[in-house]
Amino acid sequence: MTDVNTLIDELRTAIEAQSFPEIMTPAQAAQFLGVSEDYLRDHRKSKSGPAYSQPATKIIRYMRPDLVSWLNRSRVAA
C-alpha cells in the first residue's frame, strides 16, 4: 500500500512541475532541477547534461520533457 506522505509528495511534485513552462531558459531549467546555472553550463560543455536546443549562438533552451527524461536516466535504485 502506498504511504499517504508519498502520495502527497508526488502530488506536490506534479503541481510544481506544471508551474514551469514547456520551454525553459537555463535559469528556469536550473530552478526546475534544483541546481545552479553553472552546473548546467558545465554539463553542456561536457555533453553529459540534459538535451537542449540552441537556436542562436547565445540562446539556450531546455524542454521540460528532456529535463525529466535526464532525471529519470540519472535515477539510482535504493
Give the amino acid at 30: A
Q: Is residue 15 part of a domain?
A: no
Which parts of the chain sit beneath pLDDT 50? none
pLDDT at 74: 85
pLDDT at 76: 85
pTM, entire model: 0.73
Q: Is residue 27 part of a domain?
A: yes
For residues 40 and 29, is the Cβ–Cβ distance under 8 A?
Answer: yes
Rounded distance, CA 72 to CA 51, Å? 13
Backbone angles phi, psi at 25, to 5 degrees: -75, 165
Q: Is residue 5 part of a domain?
A: no
Q: Is residue 7 part of a domain?
A: no
